[in-house]
């Protein structure tokens, strides 16, 4: 599944909506309340949506809520014509872990929503502890508090971005070296086939194990051979990878600045 797929986005905002719905009404939230929260949360951050909110259908909502019930993460009861849902202690921790332990991934903007949600809803979520009382055993309380450690969450994402920056910087360096090598060999009147062989030997690309550069060149029309070497390759770093590097750098600085407002793990009491 694509990381930025419709279903992935729905589950991100649906997990937050389930927790927010329970925190706002521990006696039970209804389907329409849940749907509004999903739409509101998606409106906060998903700027690529064609509409103002994530488009979801009642069947998707019912499937998600029924799965919570089937897994024992929520209890279902009837209040009038519509059922209401109340998260269980285990369900609260499991759904919270989906957000807090969500691995670093693109688009990076979605992480800001997770961070904002955990920080903003910290006190309402902690209020669940007092409301649940004995239904929230000590082991779950400890795990619950650990999942709200946003400083730890930020450290994980900072490490991820630093790794991504190392990779993109290596690509930029390799691209610059390839361009330099190409120009040197052109000055020596070398043909494209020889240049491709030299590049393949010195700077193998990520997909080299699937299709070496020389094999790739054999598979494309001859009129594009010189075009790629002399025109396209020199422009990849300045037009694509350096802007990406700048964007990742900006995200990294944002995450570092957020650490000043993040909350570390502390002992939770009922």
Separation of CA 22 from chain center: 24
Q: What angle (nearest 5°) sits at the alpha carbon of residue 229, between those of residues 218 and 213?
A: 40
Residue 116: CB partners within 8 Å, gap ≥ 6?
44
Record the pTM: 0.82
Return d(Cα 20, Cα 22) in angstroms, integer.
5
pLDDT(205) > 60: yes
Give the residue-averaged pLDDT of 151-177: 95
Rg, the chain, Cα only: 25
Return d(Cα 174, Cα 262) in angstroms, integer.
37
Q: How confident is the model at residue 7 (pLDDT cuts 50, 70, 90)?
A: low
Q: How confident is the model at residue 262 (pLDDT cuts 50, 70, 90)?
A: confident
pLDDT(178) > 90: yes
CA-based diameter of the chain, in Å?
84
Give the residue-averaged pLDDT of 119-127: 87
Burial 20-50 (b: 16+ CB within 10 A, else e): bbbbeeeebbbbebbbebbbebbeebbeeee
> Which stretch of DSSP H or E encloses residue 61?
helix 58-70
- In angstroms, the Cα distances linking 180 to 21, 184, 194, 214, 229 are 58, 6, 15, 19, 11
């Amino acid at each position: 599944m694509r990381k930025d797929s419709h279903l992935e986005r729905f589950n991100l905002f649906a997990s937050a909506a389930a927790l927010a719905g329970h925190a706002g009404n521990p006696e039970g939230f209804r389907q329409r309340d849940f749907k509004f929260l999903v739409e509101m949360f998606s409106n906060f951050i998903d700027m690529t949506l064609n509409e103002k909110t994530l488009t979801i259908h009642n069947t998707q909502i019912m499937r998600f809520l029924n799965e919570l019930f089937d897994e024992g993460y929520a209890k279902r009861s009837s209040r009038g014509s519509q059922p209401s849902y109340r998260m269980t202690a285990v369900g609260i921790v499991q759904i919270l872990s989906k957000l807090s332990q969500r691995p670093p991934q693109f688009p990076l903007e979605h992480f800001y929503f997770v961070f904002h949600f955990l920080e903003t809803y910290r006190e309402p979520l902690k209020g669940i502890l007092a409301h649940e009382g004995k239904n929230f055993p000590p082991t779950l309380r400890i795990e619950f508090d650990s999942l709200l450690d946003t400083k730890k969450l930020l450290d994980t994402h900072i490490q991820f971005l630093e790794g991504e920056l190392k990779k993109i910087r290596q690509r930029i360096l390799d691209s610059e070296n390839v361009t330099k090598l190409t120009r040197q060999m052109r000055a020596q009147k070398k043909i494209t086939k020889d240049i491709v062989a030299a590049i393949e030997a010195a700077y193998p690309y990520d997909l080299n194990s699937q299709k070496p550069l020389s094999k790739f060149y054999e598979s494309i029309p001859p009129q594009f051979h010189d075009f790629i070497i002399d025109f396209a390759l020199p422009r990849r770093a300045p037009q694509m990878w350096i802007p990406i590097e700048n964007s990742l750098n900006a995200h990294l600085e944002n995450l570092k600045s957020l650490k000043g407002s993040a909350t570390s793990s502390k002992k939770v009491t009922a």
